[in-house]
Amino acid sequence: MGPLKGARVIEMAGIGPTPFCAMMLADAGADVIRIERKAPAALVGKRDPAADPLLRNRRCIALDLKHPDGIAAALRLVAGADALIEGFRPGVMERLGLGPEPCLAANPRLVYGRMTGWGQSGPLAQSAGHDINYIALSGALHAIGAPDRPLPPLNLVGDFGGGSMMLAFGIVAAMWEAGRSGKGQVIDAAMSDGAALLMAPFYTMVANGSWHDQRADNTLDGGAPEYGTYRCADGGFISIAPLEPQFYDAFLTLMEIDDPEFRERSNRDHWPSLHAKLERRFLERTRAQWCDLLEGTDVCFAPVLGIAEAPTHPHHAARETFVTVGETTQPAPAPRYSRTPSQTPQPRRAGIGTARAVLTDAGFSGSEIDALLESGVLVET
């Protein structure tokens, strides 16, 4: 299943953006093998395999990478792979003996994907950081939030948008090229770089004078009254975005607004007054009542749903946007392919049986696998 069926990816266990990238590749059909650390004894055999959607659709194996035989086993897995994903600080994989040089020596066609916050080079390369720091340096954080303070947009922009998705794109692009050249390469995916790239449209608008470099003072950052969120009578929120003239006309008609000031929306001097008027108007009805009036029309409207609410919305239900694996509700794979659909999400597969299958696929004999078990190099997850 999936357009990447037949591709094999080695994922070095990490947190955040690396497993999300691996999840995307696995959803698209790649055989992702996750090399994990030894699990604490209290967790062995007790973890719910469906509890972490980021680890779905992969086979997991735990190797002691402090042991030379563990490194040798990992290199044999790498030799049969199309790509590798790692998310450690620069130099960690080299110290393990699994840096690009030995891995590409074992497999010259390997695409070696490296995920870091600041990149493999530069004065901050060895510094610790998190999403908020990476997007702060890119200009993205400055543009998001209230006028008096930036507001971190979860960790979507740096970790997952600027990191995971950029690395997934880079891996697929490099695998396409390797299929023609027969040569692998190293991908330096920095979340700070990716976050900067996501800001390309806004740098363009600043350059042509259509964007003010201050928060809540532009069309798309909550400055414009017709693009934002409003509280309803029951405390819920709705979102509106009737930017185009025909959508704005429909909005005014359905809202029964005939105040002439609303025809002056292009004049920023009117924005505070229009905001206040819309705030009062939306407080007149509950969120459900506004949905009854506006949802499904061309006014560019949607209720602001909580994480627990979103999966039950009729649109998501009709498209099966969310699925339940075990007892865990999670987003379904995206995007959708007409001929090679993505894999149906399955819990991570682990344990010695899975490890034996992974190693057998890589050419290990039964006696070699037994030796790894006896030495403690191959361990339970």
Domains in the chain: ranges and CATH: 8-198+323-379 (3.40.50.10540), 228-322 (3.30.1540.10)
Residues 6+ apart with CB under 8 A from 351: 45, 380, 381
Q: How would residue 43 be classed by pLDDT, with cut points 50, 70 and 90?
A: low
Q: Is 67 a catalytic residue?
A: no
Render pLDDT for 114-125 as a digit per residue (tens, 0 to 9): 999 999 999 999
- Kindly report the CA angle at 294 between 291 and 295, in degrees rounded to 5? 60
Render pLDDT for 337-371 as a digit per residue (tens, 0 to 9): 999 999 899 999 999 999 999 999 999 999 999 99
In this structure, what token pair is assigned to residue 68? 């030379």
Q: Is 130 a catalytic residue?
A: yes
64, 159, 193, 221: the catalytic one is 159
67, 130, 212, 313: the catalytic one is 130
Q: How would residue 276 be classed by pLDDT, with cut points 50, 70 and 90?
A: very high
Q: How would residue 38 be classed by pLDDT, with cut points 50, 70 and 90?
A: confident
Residue 47 pLDDT greater than 80, yes or no: no
How distant, in Å, are the alpha carbons of 21, 26, 344 from that of 338?
22, 17, 15
Please state, rounded to an integer, the average pLDDT across all residues of the chain.
Answer: 95
